[in-house]
Amino acid sequence: MSQREDLTTVIGARVTPKGILENLSQQEVSKLLDRGQGGLYPLFRQCALAVLNCGSNSDDAKLLFDTYSNFDIRIERQPWGIKLKLANAPGSAFVDGQMIRGVREHLFAVLRDIVYTHNEVVPRFDFQDGSSITNAVFSILRNARVLDHKGKPDLVVCWGGHSIPRHEYQYTKDVGYELGLRGLDVCTGCGPGAMKGPMKGATIGHSKQRKRDGRYVGLTEPGIIAAEPPNPIVNHLLILPDIEKRLEAFVRLGHGIIVFPGGAGTAEEILYLLGILLDPANADQPLPLVFTGPVESRGYFEHLDRFIRATLGDEAAERYRIIVGDPAEAAREMHRGMERVLGQRRASGDAYNYNWTLRVPPAFQQPFEVNHESMASLVLSRDLPIHELAANLRRAFSGIVSGNVKAHGLRLVAEQGPFTLRGDASMATLLDDLLAAFVAQGRMKLFGEYRPCYRIVA
């Protein structure tokens, strides 16, 4: 067997957890192996397959599930705990017949989060109540021990596209390296591209500074994990129940945010964050926000900046700083921002590891069910209050992400055609121009011709 298995190679294996989740009750095992509509097996299998598909160069969830349609995962009870039995697993997760240690940790992180969410979180929390949702997100993070870190603010969330050219990927590594040199840790969506590069760079910076406890936090959710499988650098993987809780986890866990070039998913994250920061209750929240990329990406940020100013106003643009072609300055801006965050947390008595004082309006917490009806009914008008427009724009981009890479969205578009987005004339033009730029720059799909999953009607 070669050092790195071909992605189409299939392997059978038995894997034992180490320190993550060693015991399950009979009820939990039964629920995980229940293949019926109310069972967890379909979700468990989907997320496990995605984790094992690390190293894949495809963002096509349907292709993954079709390629490994015979993949199976079973739970075997042992006298000392449990063991997972895998059949027809992707070979990319193994080296010389042994599962990569990081992949094994991710596999059991999937098991941990699915079991905890469905057995402990869903029964206890009211997902129609905003404060209850915030507490649910906290409970999931605490159970995964991500909140064990008690040090000063140092976690930088990095957002950006999974489909980016080589020079932009190298730039994300350079920024990560500068963050690592300054002792800052990294949190991303845990996939490839701009989600992997900062972590890769930070490992070198941490190594040079002899920092051996570097945190590389990856936050994902079941709908997107197959298209963006976690990269093995991640040493704290969490699977949140849906995209809205994933986004809330980002902004409550992180102390600063860097945005690299990306596509519809990155636009969704930006609109979510700006929509929250524009809430008057968050006027004093010192959350450093930097848009950065190589000199060649200047046009991308200019286009994005024009869109934000035209839709959300100059007040939104005041919340971020654009830094082009200077990885060290982007890292310095984050480092300076950490001092402001530290001062605010001390003054307010808020926790360093979870931002309780940030207000997330209900419109940004409730899951948006993507289908043709919900997309067509979105009101996209500059006459809306800014926070409502931001929320609806975020939903529109969430739907486009679903139609681009998520199994559910891909199926809907294949069966019923593209989603329809309706807006007033100026909004339709702004949205069409931004999305057309993403398509022209190859930011919507890793490989192959991109067929838009949307159409815009004025």
Question: CA 446 to CA 291: how far, in whole Å?
Answer: 22
Looking at residue 26, what is its pLDDT? 77
Structure tokens, 380: 């996209």
Looking at residue 92, what is its pLDDT? 84
Instruction: Give me the phi and psi of 206, to 5 degrees please.
Output: -65, -40
**Tens of pLDDT, residues 186-210:** 999 998 899 999 999 999 999 999 9
Domain spans of the chain?
Answer: 10-124, 150-362, 368-457
The answer to whether 435 touches 264, Cβ cutoff 8 Å, is yes
Kindly tell me the sign of the dihedral angle through the C-alpha atoms of 18, 23, 28, 29: positive
Of 50-59, 329-338, 375-384, which one has max mean pLDDT?
Answer: 329-338
Average pLDDT value over all residues in the chain:
90
Q: Which fold has domain 10-124?
A: MCP/YpsA-like (3.30.1850)
Question: CA 48 to CA 42: how far, in whole Å?
Answer: 10
Is residue 79 scored above 70 in pLDDT? no
DSSP 256: E
Q: Which fold has domain 150-362?
A: Rossmann fold (3.40.50)
Pairing of strands 81-90, 72-78: antiparallel
What is the residue-wise DSSP string for 15-64? E---SS-----HHHHHHHT--STTSSHHHHHHHHHHHHTTT-----HHHH
H or E element in which residue 293 lies: strand 289-293
Closest to 241 in 3D by CA, of 225, 265, 257:
225
Is residue 55 scored above 90 in pLDDT? no
Is residue 250 scored above 70 in pLDDT? yes
Looking at residue 36, what is its pLDDT? 78
Share of the chain above pLDDT 90, in %: 64
Of 67-71, 189-193, 249-253, which one has max mean pLDDT?
Answer: 249-253
The total of other beta-carbon atoms located within 10 Å of residue 303's CB is: 16
Looking at residue 395, what is its pLDDT? 95
